[in-house]
């Protein structure tokens, strides 16, 4: 019996490759550690062609609407983002002394998605859309999201496995600073200036002051109506044999405080520490986390740095270690926890309804989670104070404070028996 060839996975993109309409980027099964990448070109309404991208990442630059040829991105290419996490271009490193920055407006959508897919594959989170590319476009990119709550409630009543992706907007309604945008400063720094491995090893005292401030703020806050609605929904549906899993980008503890049991924290936790020497991870909700930080961490820009000696900062409690502790969160420039991402992928692959709550959908790879679900035909509902760049990809959009819209959406449906 002939061996059946494994179909490549595919996601929908927009753009033109110069060879034809780019209808998708496919990841082939050539090898587990380095899957082949293909451009999927539309030749006619029902005919598609896979054109392999054999070296690096292939993209086409454009200038004033005219093609400037093909750029072969090397293995050391990287995505560039601005202070808000929005994609701005690629940096292509050809050698130690030679590199090129390719701005966003010179890059086709196909190249952008290919680079993102390369990154996702490198961390073990490749898309899992199983529809063969020969069946035509996988998703419609220009549809309008509905705000019909009654229609959403009908779909909600039938869903068995619900994924809820939450972002900083949920915590903001509890009064938690988001450290985003013009108002997102702590003293004279934004989070991306201080939440990095380099900043910590250069000045651990300053970084711990920042996180001590955030911990103290969080300990004074409580879950809001959105957190409580999610937790109540999870508990209620559990009794019916249904599941609710929260995938959150925030590092606070408000989902747990509200009562949610199944929470996947892709960026770590503000109330966990990790030893830089032995790697031991521990829950720590002490206030203050160490005596030297008591009264420190003021966000006032005129505040002088405490300059706490390293030996007085939080230390590992293991008797044979006593190494310096760091917050167990994902900093800028670090990869996400592969074990958590594996669990996230399973949830996204099996859910039959997805909610996106209080997130701007601009920080990768989390920004791809909901579109990944939508690409396989699963209803996605966005709950946000405003529209986002991904709104038109989703089935529903409910605008307004999450604490006002979510309780109504997740309330007991008339068809529920328990």
Active site residue 267: yes
Over residues 274-297, the pLDDT tens digits come to 999 999 999 999 999 999 999 999
- Same-domain check for residues 108 and 91: yes
The helix (H) or strand (E) run that includes residue 409 is helix 402-410
CATH number, domain at 319?
A: 3.30.1600.10
For the chain, the first-to-last Cα distance in angstroms comes to 50
Count of domains observed in the chain: 3
Annotated binding residues for Zn(2+), as ranges?
A: 275, 278, 316, 321
pLDDT digits (tens, 9 = 90+) for 252-272: 999 999 999 999 999 999 999
pTM, rounded to two decimals = 0.68
Q: What is the pLDDT of residues 353-371, one digit of tens each?
A: 999 999 887 676 777 888 8
Condensed to tens digits (0 to 9), the pLDDT of residues 205-234 reads 999 999 999 999 999 999 999 999 999 999
Q: Which of 227, 267, 339, 413 is catalytic?
A: 267
Domain that holds residue 67: 9-135
Which CATH number goes with the domain that contains 258?
Answer: 3.40.50.1220
Structure token pair of residue 253: 């503890």
**Residue 154 in contact with residue 379, Cβ under 8 Å?**
no
Task: Provide the CA 296 distance to its chain's centre, in angstroms.
Answer: 31
Half-sphere exposure of 345 (CA within 13 A, CB side): 17
The answer to whether residues 211 and 325 belong to one domain is: yes
| Mean model confidence pLDDT for the chain | 74
pLDDT 10s per residue in the chain (418 long)?
Answer: 444 433 333 333 333 333 333 344 444 433 334 334 444 444 444 444 444 443 333 333 222 222 222 233 333 445 455 555 454 555 545 445 545 454 444 444 444 444 444 444 444 444 333 333 333 333 333 458 899 999 999 999 999 999 999 999 999 999 998 776 556 789 988 888 899 899 999 999 999 999 999 999 999 999 999 999 999 999 999 999 999 999 999 999 999 999 999 999 999 999 999 999 999 999 999 999 999 999 999 999 999 999 999 999 999 999 899 999 999 999 887 878 888 888 998 999 999 999 999 988 767 677 788 888 988 899 999 999 988 878 888 999 999 999 999 999 999 999 887 6
Residues 87 and 103: their CA atoms lie apart, in Å, by: 9
Q: SS3 of 362, please? A: coil
Q: Which of 329, 347, 365 is the last residue of a domain?
A: 329
Question: What is the chain's percent helix, strand, coil content, to nearest 5?
Answer: 30, 25, 45
DSSP state, residue 401: -
Domain check: are 412 and 387 in the same one? yes
Q: Is residue 2 part of a domain?
A: no
Residue ranges of the binding site: 167-186, 211, 214, 275, 278, 316, 321, 358-360, 384-386, 402
């Amino acid at each position: 019996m002939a061996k059946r060839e494994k179909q490549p996975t595919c996601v929908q993109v927009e753009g033109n490759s110069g060879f034809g309409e780019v209808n998708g980027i496919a990841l082939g099964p050539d090898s587990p550690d380095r899957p082949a990448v293909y451009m999927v070109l539309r030749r006619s309404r029902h005919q598609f062609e896979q054109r392999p991208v054999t070296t690096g990442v292939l993209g086409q630059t454009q200038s004033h609407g005219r093609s400037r040829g093909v750029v072969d991105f090397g293995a050391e290419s990287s995505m560039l983002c601005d202070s808000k996490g929005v994609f701005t271009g690629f940096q292509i490193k050809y050698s130690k002394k030679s590199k090129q920055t390719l701005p966003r407006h010179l890059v086709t959508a196909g190249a952008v998605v290919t680079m993102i897919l390369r990154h996702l594959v490198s961390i073990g989170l490749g898309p899992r859309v199983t529809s063969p590319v020969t069946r035509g476009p996988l998703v419609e990119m220009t549809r309008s999201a509905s705000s019909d709550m009654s229609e959403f409630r009908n779909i909600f009543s039938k869903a068995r496995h619900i994924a809820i992706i939450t972002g900083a907007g949920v915590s903001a309604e509890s009064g938690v600073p988001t450290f985003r945008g013009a108002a997102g400063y702590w003293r004279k720094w934004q989070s991306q200036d201080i939440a990095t491995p380099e900043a910590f090893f250069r000045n651990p005292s300053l970084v711990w002051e920042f996180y001590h401030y955030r911990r103290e703020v969080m300990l004074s806050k409580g879950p809001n109506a959105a957190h409580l609605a999610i937790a109540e929904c999870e508990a209620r549906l559990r009794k019916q044999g249904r599941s609710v899993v929260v995938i959150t980008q925030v590092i606070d503890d408000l989902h747990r405080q509200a009562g949610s049991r199944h929470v996947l924290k892709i960026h770590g936790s503000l109330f966990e520490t990790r030893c830089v020497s032995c790697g031991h991870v521990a829950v720590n909700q002490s206030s203050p986390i160490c005596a030297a930080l008591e009264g420190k961490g003021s966000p006032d820009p005129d505040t002088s740095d405490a300059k706490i000696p390293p030996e007085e900062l939080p230390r590992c409690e293991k008797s044979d270690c006593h190494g310096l502790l760091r917050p167990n969160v994902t900093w800028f420039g670090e990869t996400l926890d592969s074990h958590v991402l594996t669990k996230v992928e399973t949830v996204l692959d099996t859910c039959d309804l997805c909610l996106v709550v209080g997130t701007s959908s601009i920080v990768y790879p989390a920004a791809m989670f909901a579109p990944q679900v939508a690409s396989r035909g699963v209803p996605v509902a966005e709950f946000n104070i405003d529209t986002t760049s991904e709104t038109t990809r989703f089935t529903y959009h409910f605008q307004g404070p999450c604490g006002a819209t979510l309780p109504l959406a997740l309330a007991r449906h008339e068809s529920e028996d328990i």
